[in-house]
Chains A and B, each alone.
Chain A
Amino acid sequence: MSEHHIVSPKIYIAIFFALMVCTLLTVYAATVDLNRYFSGLNIIVALAIATFKASLVVLFFMHGKYSPKRTQLVIICSVFWLAIMLFMTMSDYVTRLWS
């Protein structure tokens, strides 16, 4: 842990408020019918906000931004493997009725 990097409490508090704003935003976004603009927009927005929030937590609360490369590689790998599972599996279901 050359990542004995000390993050200032100010940053933590700023991140906390950003997370709060995002939480309120996501609740608000769910009450608006975005699907009429584009089918599935509601869930896309909800997941985009969640991903943004998760990134803030990983990068700052968990010091991902200040971590050694191999730690960052572990993070990327876990997300990548999750994506393999989700996308490859759904690729089956989505294409079943294609002609």
Chain B
Amino acid sequence: MSSLPAAGNQLPREHYLNATYGLRSWLLTTDHKRIALLYLISVTFFFAIGGTFAGVIRIHLLTPNGYLVTPETYNKLFTMHGVAMIFFFLIPSIPAVLGNFLIPLMIGAKDLAFPKINLLSWYIYLVGGGFVLYSFATGGLDTGWTFYTPLSSVYSNSAVTPAVLGVFINGFSSILTGLNFIVTIHTMRAPGMTWFRLPLFVWAHYATSIIFILGTPVIAITLLLAGLERMLHLGFFNPALGGDPILFQHLFWFYSHPAVYIMILPAMGVISEIIPTFARKPIFGYTFIAGSSIAIAVIGFFVWAHHMFLTGESAYAALTFSLLSYLVAIPSAVKVFNWTSTLYKGSISYDTPMLYALGFIGLFLVGGLTGLFLACLGLDIHLHDTYFVIAHFHYIMVGGAVMGYVGGIHYWWPKITGRLYPEALARVAAVTLFVGFNLTFFPQFILGYLGMPRRYHSYPPEFQVFNVMSTAGASILAIGYLLPMIYLTWSMRYGKVAGRNPWPATGLEWQTDSPPLTENFDVTPEVTWEAYDFVNRPDLGLDVKSAPSLAPAHGDD
């Protein structure tokens, strides 16, 4: 680590962590930073639950006949893995933890626009989570995280009702978070913080919030209708009454496909922060990266029925949705090219967050490109509902979203806690994660092309070799996750004091104490510089002259 400005070895005397004490001061806090930490703890809890289920699944699949758990249990395991990971970890992870913590800091505000609503949304998350845990504990859930009717609404014997209610309730937590972000970004920006000076992390969260606001209510009502069908025997999708179960899928994916962008867009935002900082260089094509976030959020709403090419959906609709799905790939590609170009003629360091960012580019690339296979109508006939799909979306969600999340946690850890983590260990963990992840999920692409269907508790023996590889990878992956949990916890007490701006980086969040004051800034900052500008920032203490002075003109925007 190139620790430049002398950091001192004392944390600031007063900051948000020690401003008040006691359980009440946390549970009734309206400070966005404390709420972010509450979320950090709760999403980590659900990550641990979902991860444990995943571990059991992988061990069970070591042998073709899987003697470890019964079919019922296996079905519950993968369902609960999905529900816990998607609705209670991935969707809230970056927005509710990092977004919550950073958006006000990044735009120079004292807090979000509605701090009480922010706290409320955490409690709603807890209530939703409580319902889902209750469902897990009392019989489990075996419908698949997709809750397809009529399996979920009529046929399943598991505890579907509390789970559906839990996910329904949790939706409102997402909605309120998105609402808070949109209003905050519109009305709370500090003087001089124009839209095109916003960090790309904020742009990404703005785009995410659009999906929160306009997508989440649809899944809320859809699950409510399915729940009513189950609880009160009303009829909406029930084929026995002449209803159409495919309509449920339309409504479900209207949200759940954009929900994938809820997971990946914030991670892209994190990467767009990390890369300029550790390449010490403005991001390449700022407007294109910002615009592509919005484009992904909007076009992402036009592609959902590509999950349904083989449901008997009209061939015309399938053609339309396939074409639109290819369109949504373009803004993602634009981002990758721009990140890569940002490295060109940079001053690149090997700090941990940068390792995660580069790992993200590689894994997201594989995840995104394999999406092109699935969007291809002819190929999807073969690949649909196989392990190819599993591998594809794990590359996006774990390789992309989780790498972004863990990388972001490392990058802002000094800001959150005021302390640094052990750098060498952190680099080892980053590499372990990358290797373990690829070993776990790459074989599943091949399994999928060989035709192994997903959600199988047992499989024909010819598929075993790749399953064993996958399980071996999963154990390495588990170590990759456990390591950061341990050393990050350790560093909260024993880590070196970081100082305000350890990397150093250009964003407003680095212009205040680490950890920040409850009010974030002593005085409301005034922004006079462009985003990611290292040249006109003497306050960063960098050797400005080291950059060849005659860079190409500030050409793009």
Contacts and interface: CB of A to CB of B under 8 A. Distances in A.
> Which residue, of A70, A77, A81, has the highest number of chain B Cβ atoms within 10 A?
A81
Nearest to A93: B314
A89 B214 contact: no
Interface in B209-237: 210, 214, 218
Contacts of A85: 218, 251, 254
A98 B218 contact: no
B72 interface: no
Interface string B302-325: 101100000011111100100000
A88 B214 CA distance: 15
Contacts of A93: 314
A95 interface: yes
B317 A92 contact: yes
A8 interface: no
A94 B247 CA distance: 13
Nearest to A89: B250
B247 A98 contact: no
A63 B107 CA distance: 30
Given A85-B254, A92-B250, A92-B305, A78 B214 contact: yes
A91 B254 contact: no
Given A89-B247, A92-B250, A84 B302 contact: yes
Contacts, number: 39
B314 A88 contact: no
Contacts of A84: 301-302
B186 interface: yes
A95 to B, nearest CB: 4
Given A88-B302, A88-B305, A98 B214 contact: no
- Majority SS of interface residues in chain A? helix
A96 interface: yes
Contacts of A92: 250, 305, 313-314, 317
A98 B314 contact: yes
Contacts of B254: 85, 89
B377 to A, nearest CB: 14
Contact of A91 (B304, B312, B316): B316
Interface string B150-188: 000000000000000000000000000000000000100
B320 A91 contact: yes
Interface residues of A, number: 15
Contacts of B218: 85
B250 A77 contact: no
A77 B214 contact: yes
Interface string B111-122: 000000000000
A78 to B, nearest CB: 7
Given A91-B320, A92-B314, A95-B316, A81 B250 contact: no
Interface string A65-99: 00000100000011001001100110111111010
Interface in A2-40: none
Nearest to A77: B214
A98 B320 CA distance: 15
Nearest to A97: B314
> Which residue, of B218, B251, B314, B320, has the highest number of chain A Cβ atoms within 10 A?
B314
A70 B302 contact: no
A91 B186 contact: no
Contacts of A94: 314
Nearest to A82: B214
A92 B254 CA distance: 13
Nearest to A92: B317
Interface in A30-71: 70
Nearest to A96: B314
A89 B254 CA distance: 9
B319 to A, nearest CB: 10
Nearest to B214: A81
A22 B316 CA distance: 39
Contacts of B314: 91-96, 98
A91 B214 contact: no
Contacts of B251: 85, 89
A96 B218 CA distance: 24
5 contacts: A77-B214, A85-B254, A88-B305, A95-B314, A96-B314
Given A84-B302, A85-B254, A92-B250, 6 more contacts: A81-B301, A85-B251, A91-B314, A91-B320, A93-B314, A94-B314
Interface of A: 70, 77-78, 81, 84-85, 88-89, 91-96, 98
